[in-house]
Homo-oligomer: A and B are copies of this chain.
Amino acid sequence: MKIAILGMGNVGTGVYEILQENKSEVCRYLDKEIIPSKVLVRTLNKDRKLDIDDKVLTDRFEDILEDQDIKIVVELMGGIEPAYGYIKRAITHGKHIVTANKAVIATYGKELEELANQNGVFIKYEASVGGGIPIISTIIESLAANKIQEIVGIINGTTNYILSQMTRENLSFEEALKLAQDNGYAEADPTSDIEGEDAAFKISILTSISYGINVPSEIIEREGITKVQKSDIEYASELGYKIKLLAVSKKHGNSVEIYVHPALVPNSHPLASINNEFNALFVKGNAVGELLLCGKGAGALPTGSAVLADILSVAKAIKNEIGNDSKINDTDSNIEIKGIGKSQYYIRLQVIDKPGVLGKVAMIFGSYGISLESVVQKGRGEISVPLVFITHDIEKEILDSALKEIISYKYVENIASILKVEGM
């Protein structure tokens, strides 16, 4: 069975390698070989890690579109354009799509699924979330008979690597970012990862397949990890927590609470021990209860493994002459999209070290009905000292009002950090 691969970067190379290395496994599953008969690249003459026949390489997308033997187009370019345009054209030419493109699926997934259905072809995107972790097929297939209630996960490997290194090696954010870039875990422009955009794409995709609700990633409440400081990690550790960038989507009746936010996770919680480039996802269904899936969230081979699972599943359908007849999971317009609901928070203030400051701040919290779970005061003897609080559950608006009053108090210099505490 012939396929085309768009893009021969990291993941494309992984897919190519797996097809060579694990030919016998592929043949056993499908009873056929998968042959990448065309590979779209930007530059034809370039040194490549892999030995790819020149006849296979092309820089013209039309070569792929016009090749009637190619049944599956595997898009591994990333980014919106030209990937999105290529996918649309391939679909209208009757080709099945496998993609690892979270930006395209989060932004145009519904439109593309409808287009694919009209054209009787499949569009599959297991590798768009969680690298090698089979989270999409688990939700769609294995939990098909469940009402999905909740997804909580670490779904960005770059930020998890940075936070892990900050924690283990006592690095600043900038130092850990540099290390991540040096080791290939962060891109030259890391904005999308560290600002939480990448995680927002992914939680949008998971929300869509779990609840049938399209939440554009732009409207998802999100905060990245750029403001997380070394001292926050130290205080969190002292209080029994790890700081993780969590992506959360919870269904409460007719509303969905969805956000990406750095959060304190109790050490006893399994997510606290997911480090470096690993990803982990909790899925809660009303029949299965809680399921946890962990694995490598990025990398050529793990992501390639997920891409190949999709290719094989589509190839089997082609072999069995099955077209895509799945129903689009329709947006329920009555569903309200919310940000973070009632939650515990971690607050770090910088204050002038005067007697009574802690008491005054605690009193202000109290006057807003905010009770405190923990307080850490340290560094007496310096003029400016940190004051760390963990609150009990409170609405963010109320917390903001209290903090507005607190910051106006003359001995409070600034609010250095506001992080979520994930109650699990």
**Chain A positions near chain B (C-beta within 8 angstroms):** 14, 18-19, 21-22, 25-26, 28-29, 31, 126, 132-134, 137-138, 141-147, 212, 268, 270, 273, 285-296, 299, 301-302, 304-306, 308-309, 311-313, 320, 322, 325, 327, 329
Contacts and interface: CB of A to CB of B under 8 A. Distances in A.
Given A270-B270, A313-B141, A288 B293 contact: no
A103 to B, nearest CB: 23
Nearest to A277: B289
B146 A305 contact: yes
B305 A145 contact: yes
Given A18-B287, A293-B294, 15 more contacts: A19-B145, A22-B287, A28-B212, A134-B141, A134-B142, A141-B309, A141-B312, A141-B313, A273-B273, A285-B305, A287-B305, A288-B295, A289-B302, A292-B295, A320-B322
Contacts of A309: 141-145
A146 to B, nearest CB: 6
A22 B302 CA distance: 33
A138 B287 CA distance: 19
A287 B132 contact: yes
Instruction: Please give the count of copies of this chain that the complex contains.
Output: 2
B288 A296 contact: yes
B22 A312 contact: no
A145 B289 contact: no
Given A145-B29, A322-B322, A132 B289 contact: yes
A313 B270 CA distance: 31
14 contacts: A22-B145, A22-B286, A22-B287, A28-B212, A29-B144, A132-B288, A134-B142, A141-B309, A143-B309, A145-B311, A288-B296, A288-B302, A291-B295, A320-B320
Interface centre among A290, A295, A327 (most CB of B within 10 A): A295
Contact of A144 (B286, B301, B312): B312
Given A134-B138, A289-B295, A322-B320, A305 B143 contact: yes
A309 B134 CA distance: 15
B147 A25 contact: yes
Contacts of A212: 28
A245 B292 CA distance: 20
Nearest to A17: B287
Contacts of A268: 273
A405 to B, nearest CB: 41
Contacts of A286: 21-22, 301
Nearest to A140: B29
A21 B288 CA distance: 13
Contacts of A294: 270, 291-293
B287 A308 contact: yes
A168 to B, nearest CB: 12
Contacts of A312: 141, 144-145
A242 B150 CA distance: 30
Contact of A31 (B132, B313, B327): B327
Contact of A145 (B26, B143, B270): B26
A61 B145 CA distance: 27
A303 to B, nearest CB: 9
A295 to B, nearest CB: 4
B28 A308 contact: no
A206 B29 CA distance: 17
A132 B141 CA distance: 13
Contacts of A134: 134, 138, 141-143, 291
Contacts of A311: 145
Interface centre among A18, A286, A287, A325 (most CB of B within 10 A): A287
